[in-house]
Each structure stands twice: as structure tokens, then as C-alpha cells.
Amino acid sequence: MKISEALKVLQSAPRGGEPFEAALVCGFTPLHLETLLGARLQQRLSGRRIVIAKGLFGDTAGTLESLRGARPHAAALVLEWQDLDPRLGFRGAGAWSPAAVADIVTSATRMLDRIGAAVEQLDPGVPIACCLPTLPLPPLFHVPGWQAPEARLLLDRELNGFALRVVRRPGATLADASRLAQDSPPGSRFDLKSELSSGLPYTLPHADAVAATLALLLAPPEPKKGLVTDLDDTLWHGLVGEIGPENVAWDLDSHHSLHGLYQKLLASFADEGVLIAVASKNDARTAAGALARPDILLPPGKIYPLEVHWNPKSGSVGRILQAWNIGAGSVVFVDDSPMELAEVEAAHPGIECALFPKNDPAACHALLRRLRDWFGKPRIAGEDALRLESIRQGAAFREVESGSAAEAFLRLADATMTIDYGASQLDPRTLELVNKTNQFNLNGARYTEGDWRRRLADPNAILAAVNYQDKFGPLGKIAVLAGLVRGDEIHVDVWVMSCRAFSRRIEHRCLLSLFERHDAREIVFDFRASPKNGPLQEFFESLTGSRASGPLRLTRTQFEEKRPVLYHNVIVTDSTP
């Protein structure tokens, strides 16, 4: 991004947008880094107005310490060597003599300890993204440049210790050095002229690469939820219908291990809670033969559903989306045929389509990395492991539900809801659910971690996190409801429920529990109809008798008159620490 583009992005911020205050902590003159970080954050948080606050030149630790007790929405810490000791930079007059090296390492160690302590003392609600030194050290060591000096190794060891200390703080993330090296080659990062004349040591492209990385760490994209893969020449090499299940290949010996790597990555995704399905034009029994081979790296148990037949793939993908109950925008489709990709893309706008480059190892490596970026998530929650199983159970649930009297079915489902009104505010899954749910979502509002902690700090704030299980198995944490209590009114401005939990009257039980717990007369919902939240619109219509498009009120009397019989066992907890 050029500076002129960055300025235009910043000027495009909505005038009335809620401010997003980010503290930029660095010891050099941030100049373009400040502009570019603002612009990159603005691109990621387009509804907000980015405000960057910066600290004092040459005092990284002091700037961080001054943030103690402050509540910016986020902080970005950009360290360079001179922040650890001015003699490691180019602007100080301190000696580069061999005699000084040991002292430099000692003082850098002390400074890292001070900075680490300052990071730990930040308000826990302030997410912080850190970037360790990215520039070359000055030529102060006695060895030639191609030899690693011992002092450098000692500095690296201290930095690694610091990095571990920082990332163990909740809400802290660290820029990946090797990824940054791909985006910004080390040889083209340092601008000595700019460093000496203005105090900014970065070339413009490097400043942009650092800014883009920090923005991704502070405002990460929502991970994709599902991957639909082709089989022939994608999951394995060869056409299974022509050469037989025993002759398709994915291993090193057959020189087709690109497919094996792809299988390994998909298996890893499945273990992390990503949904994996197959859409293939093939004979189902023949394909099943290859999937059942004992040497396959993506076991068929990790795949659901399988759409293997000769009909168009757009239809297969449509049925898979229906089975998963997620939108096309959360899904990636991988196939070796550009034609199939185009057909699916046309039928399912928003889906990410990726070509499997079966004969190009470099392109395949790039695809695997791109897939990791799409599906990568900062942490794996217990619910991730439950997702595939609960979708399978959901299909069984719908089958049973449609085949018998729904009322009797629900009565015998042996459902238990655990409603936690307390500490789940500290559970990352709660915010994750709020930010990724579309269909049953009160208003589509998204929150940063800082926003979320800030709103829950209100003494009148309420939060309910709901876990569910029935005889078909556990669904994990599937609903979140939050708002404020004002007298005998409850104002709810966050309400989401996973689509895996539909048709179980969980939404009715949530409201009943809320009315009862607060002895409330009325609930006011900050509802906004959207093209995606149809299920919630229908739910409200069933209670109020009319379609709402904006905020609405529901009295307890209204609710009691319209609600169906509820069969759940309910356990209410309050795990506030």
C-alpha cells in the first residue's frame, strides 16, 4: 500500500464511526508505520474510525508502562534492536567496541525484562500484537558478517524468552518472523537514509508489511468453517474409476505426495473442528474403495457428507452447505478442474474456490499455506472437536424429528441445558460464537476482544452462555445472550445461537430463564433484520405475531402466552470468579 492510498483509506473512515483506539508502541519515529497501521486497521474494521496513539521517541518501555490502567481497544508493540540498547542502533553515539558487547547483552536482557513486565501489567482487556526486531544488527561484532557471533545468539535467546513470556499473556499475539520474511525480504527492509534523516528505519514496503501483519493480529479475519474437496487428481492422483481404488496414489514412492500433503492438512483441519466434505463425479462404491484404504491419510470418518455421483457439483455443494447449515462465505471448494470451480462459484456466490495444482509443487505449497491462512484460528476450543459429530447427530435428529410426532420427540430427547450467567465472559469461545454466527444473530454486531471486555465491565451487564446436550450427544456451547438490566426491563443487544442447535426450543428456554432470573416484566431487543438472520426474524414473529425489522419489546405475558412447552432439564450456574 502506498502512502497516498493509506491516507485515502483513512479519510474514508465513517465520520460517525465508533472510534477504535490503537496504541502504537515503538521507540523510533513511526511516521509511515503509523499511517499504514491506521490504514490497514481501517480496512479490517471498516465501520470504525481508527485512532492511533503513539508514545515517546526512544522510550518503548516507558510508553508501555504509561499504558498501565489505560484502556485502548488494542496495542501494537514494534521492537527494534535499539529499543533494547541504543548501541544496537545507528543513531546513538555509543561505542561498538568489543569491550562493549557483553554490556550490551546485559543491558538488552534487562530492558527485555522491563518491557515483558510492562506487557504483563497492561489491562487484561487490551489485546496486544508484538513484532520482534526485524532489521539487521549494525556491524558491531568482531566476526565477519557471514558468521553468527555468540553475542547475537545470546540476544536471540533472550528475545525468544521474552516472546514466550509475552504470548503466554491472554490476548497477546506475536508476528511470525518467517512469514514476515516472505512478505518483506530481510535485505530490503532497512532504510539508513530515512533512519538518519527522520528516525524511521523502515523502507516503505517493510513498514507496510509490518503494519499489515499487526492489523491481522489485532483484527483477524473470521476463519472459514468448511472445506469441500474433489477426489480424483485432488485428494489423490489418478482417476479412481479408470485405474481402480488400489492404484490411485498419494505417497512419496509413487511421486504423488503433493496429494498426501493435502490429505494430511485436511486431516489436521478436521481435528481442529473444520468440516470436510467431498464433492466428486464418480461411482460412489469405487470412490469408497479408495477412501477405505488403510494407508489413506484423511480417514473417511473425518469426512461428512460425501456427495459422490455424476450430477453437477454445484448441486453437491448446495446439499453439503445445507447439511452443515452454514453459508457459502464460510466455505472453500478445492478441485483440479477450473470448469468445476467456475460452475460452483457461479452457483454459490461468496464461496472461495481454489484450484488444486496437481503438477506444480510450488503452487501446491502456496495453496497449502493459503488454506492454513483461511482456516487458521488462534486457539482450538473443546467445541471444535464436537462440531462434526454434532452435525451428524443433527442430521439424525432431523430424521427422527420429521418421522415422528415432534412433540413426543422433544419430550423424549432427554435434553439438558446449562446456562452460565458468569465467568464465560472470559471464555474465548463465547466471543468467537458471537462473532461468527449469522443466521440466529440479533443484529450482526461484531466485537473485538477489547470491546467485549469493556462492555462486560458495566455493573449492570448480564451475560448468559448456554451449553446443550441431549441423547444424541453434546453440542457444546451453542448460544450467548448479553445485555443490561434496567429495573424490571432487560435490554438485550447480543443474542446468537449456533445453527446446529435449531429446532430444540433452546431459544424459548433462554428467554424463560432470563425472565425468571431477573424477575423481568419485559425484554427489549436491539434487533436488526438482515438478509442472513431469517431464523431469528421467524422466531420473533412466532411470539409477537408480526415481522419486525428493528428493535422490539417482548413482555413476559406475551411470551408466556405464545411459548411452547419446554422439556429441557436446566442447570443454572454462575461461575463469576
Partner 1 sequence: MSAIATRLTACFQTVFPTLPEAQIASASQASVAAWDSTASILLVNVIEDEFGFEMDFDRLADLDTFERVHDYVVEQVGAR
Q: Scan residues 456-475 and list those touching partner 1 (CB under 8 A).
A: none
Q: How far is the CB of 40 from partner 1 (least distance, A)?
A: 16
Q: How far is the CB of 23 from partner 1 (least distance, A)?
A: 18
DSSP state for residue 421 in the 8-state scheme: -
The 3-class secondary structure across 11-44, one letter per residue, is HCCCCCCCEEEEEEEECCCCHHHHHHHHHHHHHH
Q: What cell was used for 402?
A: 420429521
Task: Report the residue from 198, 311, 359, 404 that binds partner 1 according to the rule CB under 8 A.
Answer: 198
7 near partner 1, judged by CB under 8 A? yes
Q: How far is the CB of 33 from partner 1 (least distance, A)?
A: 12
Task: Report the residue from 39, 172, 204, 388 that binds partner 1 according to the rule CB under 8 A.
Answer: 204
188 near partner 1, judged by CB under 8 A? no
Please tell me the count of residues contacting partner 1 according to CB under 8 A.
13
Task: Report the residue from 13, 20, 26, 32 that binds partner 1 according to the rule CB under 8 A.
Answer: 32
Task: Report the residue from 16, 69, 93, 193 that binds partner 1 according to the rule CB under 8 A.
Answer: 193
16 near partner 1, judged by CB under 8 A? no
2 near partner 1, judged by CB under 8 A? yes
Nearer to partner 1, 188 or 322 (CB): 188
Q: Scan residues 303-362 and list those touching partner 1 (CB under 8 A).
A: none
Task: Report the residue from 17, 31, 66, 461 that binds partner 1 according to the rule CB under 8 A.
Answer: 31
Q: What cell was used for 37?
A: 497501521
209 near partner 1, judged by CB under 8 A? no
Q: H-type helices in 142-232, by residue range?
A: 150-167, 177-183, 192-198, 204-218
C-alpha 275/C-alpha 346 separation (Å) is 22
Closest among 63, 185, 157, 183 to 119, alpha carbons compared = 63
Closest among 501, 537, 325 to 417, alpha carbons compared = 501
DSSP state for residue 190 in the 8-state scheme: B
Q: Scan residues 136-165 and list those touching partner 1 (CB under 8 A).
A: none
Nearer to partner 1, 199 or 315 (CB): 199
Task: Name residues whose C-beta falls within 8 Å of residue 541's C-beta, 6 or more positions apart in sequence.
Answer: 547, 548
C-alpha 323/C-alpha 89 separation (Å) is 58
178 near partner 1, judged by CB under 8 A? no
Task: Report the residue from 178, 197, 301, 519 that binds partner 1 according to the rule CB under 8 A.
Answer: 197
Sheet containing 331-335: order of strands: 306-309, 275-281, 226-229, 331-335, 352-355
C-alpha 563/C-alpha 557 separation (Å) is 10
40 near partner 1, judged by CB under 8 A? no
Q: Which residues bind partner 1 (CB under 8 A)?
A: 2-4, 7-8, 11, 31-32, 35, 193, 197-198, 204
